[in-house]
Amino acid sequence: MDIDHETLVALAKSWGLFYLIALSIGVLVYTFWPGNRKRFARAKLIVLDKEDRPWR
């Protein structure tokens, strides 16, 4: 079987698309997982705990 450049490009584009879709779904699942709610709420508040001015 002879694999030419166009075949490899098509294969890379297809699998790259599936890889990015799977990665995006994984990030969304991680973000909206109920067990991570406390972690994200704490991270949201910790930013506001510091004074709002530049370091000296």
Report pLDDT digits (tens) over 26-49. Answer: 999 999 999 999 999 888 888 766
Distance separating alpha carbons of residues 22 and 28, to the nearest angstrom:
10
Q: Taking residues 4-28, report their average pLDDT.
A: 93
CB 36, CB 30: distance < 8 Å? yes
pLDDT at 15: 93
- The one-letter code for the residue type at 8 is L
Task: Give me the sign of the Cα torsion angle 14, 20, 24, 27.
Answer: positive
Q: What is the pTM of this model?
A: 0.61
Distance separating alpha carbons of residues 39 and 22, to the nearest angstrom:
24
User: Residue 49 is encoded by which pair of tokens?
Assistant: 């705990």
- Whether residue 54 is predicted with pLDDT greater than 70 in this model: the reply is no
